[in-house]
DNA sequence: GTGGTCTAGACCACA
DNA sequence: GTGGTCTAGACCACA
């Protein structure tokens, strides 16, 4: 379910982190459900366990998941997890808008782009 | 006129690059005007000349500026320069919108954020 | 009566141990009274029996409880049990004070914190 | 200046982290001063660079230090750094007091302990 | 030189 | 089995 692109500049641990956030927000992993273990996911993706652990730890620090030593890693209460992920994406979006503003792009252009992208995806 | 934030994760050469693009778009450096020399800017910012050179090189590769050996670096024809900068920011913005889409943010939320940011700045 | 928080970093066996100590000090389990059996408590808390056994074993080693093979686990003479628990908490408290000292916290701040916490609880 | 105790249960990276926090609070490393590089400290302590990096990263996440890729790691603005470290120690202290409260220790005992520890250290 | 990422492989506490 | 820590050693981008 998780895809890694090794040609991508984005570090592997970050890609894993983003993919997990995406799956959590989509409800594939509901609140308190168990995520694949560090080692299982490492084997599945052909990646070092440390790399996966780094992804998990960062998600834990930001409150999206919690891990119980000896038991596994679990999704935090949905409200929390989703909210945190949302905030991260909003922050990213705000930065892009500010850059766009400084680059003299107009409001209309941005809104149009949004329409374009949202209507191209089926929802 | 150019500000570098060393605590920022963004590499210094990238910050210099972005600042220059901003100043070009704003018309501070019009077409065919000369940019500060690599060495002058390096001293001014307290930065390694290699770092400035890297910023200039990337701007040259993308067509925003051109350099004349022995004379200096100059801004490309305005249409070109501005257009290229715009495209870069649009690409960045598109990425943010796609992430936002996957994170289940609604169109309305994004549009609202834009309104908010654009009205907070004086223009 | 015993509550386990799986999201807590503290290992389960330690939480069980602390909860039992708390209940003993409070007099819920008086001297020579029988504690719930390992298996019963394991089922009740939805926890592996090994985990409970570890908690009991550590309490026995430190002299808070004693176990009679084939009969069960019992609280040691109150003076002993309470005294041992007290000593443990004093040691923990001392460590915190030393850290606070090194971090330049003043005596006043610490005393104030104590006042605050003690007056917030009803006793 | 930094001491690691390998017999200690506390993980090495945590010990390094604590030692650094201590030195920062004491003013040995003032705001914006450069910390020893990851590799230098690793050699000095006879420890793997990854271990040091883990300590540095956690300090960075909590805002005590900031690192500039290619340049080094630096102490955050003193107010920030010190304040964060203080908060951490206060939280730790509060936990100890709460435990002590539940274990029936009296306010007087705790205050006495504080007096004892503070007067034993020269300041 | 400096931080950041990653692999391969080991060992530990806990459940 | 599960997360957590650590070593030895490599490679990369950046300054």
Cβ atoms of D101 and C121 within 8 Å: the answer is yes
3-state secondary structure of A90: helix
Q: What is the pLDDT of residue C20?
A: 94
Q: What pTM was estimated for this model as a whole?
A: 0.87
What would the pLDDT profile of C72-123 be if each residue is shown by its tens digit?
999 998 778 888 888 888 988 998 999 899 888 999 999 999 999 999 875 5
Nucleotide whose C1' lies closest to the alpha carbon of residue A6: E6
The band of A34, judged by pLDDT with boundaries at 50, 70 and 90, is very high
Residue D48 CA distance to nucleotide E10 C1' (Å): 14
Q: Which residue has the higher pLDDT, A19 or B80?
A: A19
CB-based contact C104 D21, cutoff 8 Å: no
Locate the chain C residue with the closest alpha carbon to D99: C89
Mean pLDDT on A16-25:
92
Is residue B80 scored above 90 in pLDDT? no
pLDDT band at A122 (very low <50, low <70, confident <90, very high): low
pLDDT in the model for residue D104: 85
Q: What is the pLDDT, as a whole number, of residue B87?
A: 87
pLDDT score of C7 = 87
Query: Residue range A57-76: average pLDDT?
Result: 93
C-beta separation of D24 from D64 below 8 A? yes
- Spatial contact of A16 and A64, defined as CB atoms under 8 Å apart: no
Buried b (16+ CB within 10 A) or exposed e, C85-101: bbebbbeebeebbebbb
Q: Return all residues near B31 (Cβ < 8 A) that are at least 6 apart.
A: B75, B76, B77, B78, B81
Decide: CB of A66 under 7 A of nucleic strand F.
no
Contact between A69 and A32 under an 8 Å Cβ cutoff? The reply is no
Per-residue pLDDT tens over the stretch B3-46: 999 888 899 999 999 999 989 988 899 999 999 999 999 999 99
Residues 6+ apart with CB under 8 A from C84: C62, C63, C64
C1'-nearest nucleotide to the CA of D68: E3
Query: Which of B107, B114, B104, B26 has the alpha carbon at shortest distance from A95?
Result: B114
Average pLDDT, chain D: 91
What pLDDT does residue D80 have? 80
Cα–Cα distance, D64 to D42 (Å, whole number): 20
**Touching A: C residues 2-31, CB under 8 Å:** 6-7, 9, 11
DSSP run (H or E) holding A113: helix A107-120
Indicate if the pLDDT at residue A123 is higher than 60. Answer: no
Q: What is the DSSP letter of B7?
A: T
Residues lining strand E at under 7 Å (Cβ) are A 11-14, 47-51, 54, 68-71; C 11-14, 47-48, 50-51, 54; D 35, 37-40, 49-50, 53, 56-57, 60, 67-73
pLDDT greater than 90 at residue A79: no
Q: Which pair of tokens denotes residue A52?
A: 């996966």
Per-residue model confidence (pLDDT) at position D55: 96
């Amino acid at each position: 379910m998780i895809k890694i692109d090794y040609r991508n500049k984005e570090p592997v641990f970050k890609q894993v982190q983003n993919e997990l956030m995406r799956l959590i927000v989509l409800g594939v992993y509901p609140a308190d459900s168990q995520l694949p273990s560090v080692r299982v996911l490492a084997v599945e993706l052909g990646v070092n366990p440390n790399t996966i652990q780094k992804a998990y730890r960062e998600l834990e620090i930001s409150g999206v998941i919690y891990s119980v030593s000896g038991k596994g890693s679990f999704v935090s209460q949905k409200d929390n997890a989703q909210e945190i992920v949302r905030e991260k994406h909003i922050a990213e979006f705000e930065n892009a808008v500010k850059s766009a503003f400084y680059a003299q792009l107009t409001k209309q252009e941005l809104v149009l782009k949004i329409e374009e992208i949202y209507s191209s995806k089926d929802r």
